[in-house]
Amino acid sequence: MPELPEVETVARGLRETILGRTIARVEHSQAPPASIEISASLRPHSFDHLLSGRKIEDITRRGKNLFVRLSGGLTLWVHLKMTGHFFWVPSTEPVDKHDLVRFDFKPSGKSSRNGYQLRFNDYRRFGRLRLFPDDELYTHPALAGLGPEPFDITSEEFVDLCRRRPRMIKPALLDQTFLAGLGNIYADESLYFARIHPRRSTDAPSKAKLTELHGHIRRLLRKAIKLMGTSVDSYVGVNGQAGSFQKYLRAYNNEGNPCVRCGSKIVREKIGSRSAHYCPRCQKLR
């Protein structure tokens, strides 16, 4: 599933391509009913009717969620889930069977972006596109309960959060109500660099060690954003370009490979319902 750096990269790609443009038409005949949700307050209007004619005013991110702010006080809230992608392609390009939603835009002067179409492609069809009035958006349970952003929480606040909510640290980092935006990739990498075993309790490491972990989380996320994310599965940006942070992974997806610090083999272990990759020598469970 795309994590904070990948979703931020998509948000930046959308700002470069559709920000300021006006939606002319929306086609979603291939999208399964579960892929699209409209607030009850907007019904019985259809998804395409509500979007047509609206201007893209802003594009933001919160955790793993994308928000396309529209004129008239509406927001298109997108969660890419496992395999959701946005692609900016020529309108003449053949439609793929997994192009679930297609957005056409009104011409804008002599812009080189004219004649292009935004497509939401999702071969596993878990992604969600929701349309809500702005004043309802953050009352939705999936957003109201989100934890702090890694770039917004201070080291002192992070230590206090870990002390107040003791639990195994790897599942905690994956919990979006604990910290918003992390998934398996960056949780594994952060714990590896901080030398913390993924089964340790959040209140077990010293203040200095938790402060170090906080620093690694922010450093790795910044680096991954700079490198346009991690492409270890199907993730690519809006322009179809893959990220390159996978070249720097030290724990995640490295099961059986030697640890670059001590030479021990990286192990993969199921913790809770998710996998964790770590070095058993560098990240000892004390």
195 is catalytic: no
Q: Where are the beta strands (DSSP E) in the chain?
A: 23-27, 36-38, 56-62, 65-70, 74-79, 84-90, 99-105, 116-122, 128-133, 267-271, 274-278
3 counts as catalytic: yes
Active-site residue identified among 21, 54, 61, 64: 64
* 125 part of the active site: no
CB within 8 Å of 244: residues ≥ 6 apart: 227, 228, 231
> Taking Cα atoms as reference points, which of 34, 71, 25, 29 lies closest to residue 52?
25
| Set 12, 15, 274, 280: catalytic member | 274
Q: Which two tokens stand for residue 52?
A: 């047509």
3, 6, 8, 189: the active-site residue: 3
**Cα–Cα distance for residue pair 244/242, rounded to 1 Å:** 7
2, 150, 171, 198: the catalytic one is 2
Give dist(CA 256, CA 261) in Å, integer.
14
212 assigned to active site: no
Is the CB of residue 277 less than 8 Å from the CB of residue 249?
A: no
Q: Which residues are catalytic?
A: 2-3, 64, 274
